[in-house]
Chain A
């Protein structure tokens, strides 16, 4: 059953125009919900990046007392590097740590620091990051060791925080997606109701169900796609803003969470696809009742 493009365009345009308020509502709902979906997808990729970066980086830091002697330092270094699960260690001098601390802390806090009181440190990469606990146990309280720190805890906290955020985002997005489909369904129903005379005449003279259905489904698809396009723009915008922030020095967590252009494109495509799907499913459900003979 060929449906001519001319006919399709004409019918769809007039339907969209007749229900323009509902159309706008449906498009906006799709836009908001898909923006949330897209952003949470980006966030998830960013977190994945950040955590792997940390896992490939330093796993455990042994801070040495400022008063540590060279002999103590040598012995500690030797013992740590000989542990089977330690891959490599790097010694950072007091001066290096002082500069780093100054960079990380606020100016007020940094003022109370001096090179002399800053601990030097050994930063080790482990074969298995989960062994950080064992090192902490062994070296806490060891002569010359001030304390053992591991960012594992920080990673875990960040992971659980982002996991909650993701769940909240996705739940919100799902609810909104559902309401978007219902809105589209309702818009289509209104459109059909407005044209029930035409639909009944079409059925009377033997138009196939697909012929009747296609313009309305196309309308739903356009609503879904338009909303998705807005959402895709939001996703790209969020990405650009985060990227700009991550490249400035102040926010280095964002820097570790940066995602590639490739990932942004994939996310955008997913968002568009979901929009079109919602549009077609919503409209297909909306029409069903009117086509039962």
Chain B
């Protein structure tokens, strides 16, 4: 599903964010991307979203080289990749339903599709009762659930999460992780960049560790730190 082939990304001024990285992530995998701040996790995600273009190497998503994607095709790539962030990125003046519906609206889905899909996904994330609340009226965990609902409502092939639990307490974080696991069970590839060692150690999934832009570890059922 995702394939990096000798990918290097450096920024002007000589900072190397990703150095000669090669890896494969298969369809339906659940992967943690770990490493300290500045290790290249965010660049990894930005490359996948085609917000950045690699200097060398190829990045294949669903068999297509996204570095050579023409400008007008980028939105169609992003429709296949749902994305969740630490700061939720909800629209504060739209309610829960509208925030999720917005994702379908802007890709031109007809009204009846929106009317049937949004309640379904709100049910999945457990927010059916809060569909008319504004983000400001929700707890952090609830807001992140709305963000996950928005990312997944279009049934993307891949779900990326950049520090999804960074702003949440451990219990709430576990709830979000269970939600992401459920989404993973529907066949969606899930990639989570995090430095929340608690959840990584607890879930024992594939762990990819970056350090200064280099892949230093790729472990099938890993933990956050070295060992095991």
Contact = CB atoms under 8 A, between A and B. Distances in A.
Nearest to A292: B71
A206 B157 CA distance: 14
Contacts of A200: 89
Given A205-B106, A207-B75, A197 B51 contact: no
Interface string A201-242: 111111111011000000000000000000000000000000
Interface residues of A, number: 20
Contacts of B77: 206
B75 A209 contact: yes
Secondary structure dominating the interface of A: helix
B83 to A, nearest CB: 6
A138 interface: no
A2 B108 contact: yes
Contact of B78 (A1, A203, A212): A203
A201 B78 contact: no
Contacts of A5: none
Contact of B74 (A198, A211, A293): A293
Interface in A256-293: 293
Contact of A201 (B50, B102, B108): B102
Interface string B144-175: 00000011001000000000000000000000
A197 B103 contact: no
A19 B106 CA distance: 23
B156 to A, nearest CB: 9
B162 to A, nearest CB: 11
Contacts, number: 56
Contact of B91 (A197, A206, A209): A197
Given A197-B89, A293-B51, A204 B78 contact: yes
Contacts of B79: 205-206
B226 interface: no
A58 to B, nearest CB: 67
A198 B74 CA distance: 18
A208 B72 contact: yes
A88 to B, nearest CB: 71
A293 B71 CA distance: 9
Contacts of A212: 106
A211 B106 contact: yes
Given A209-B72, A209-B75, A204 B89 contact: yes
A206 B82 CA distance: 9
Contact of B75 (A2, A197, A198, A208): A208
Contacts of A208: 72, 75
11 contacts: A2-B108, A3-B108, A200-B89, A201-B89, A204-B78, A206-B107, A207-B107, A208-B75, A209-B71, A211-B106, A212-B106
Interface of B: 49-51, 71-72, 74-79, 83, 89, 91-92, 102-103, 105-108, 150-151, 154
Interface of A: 1-4, 7, 197-198, 200-209, 211-212, 293
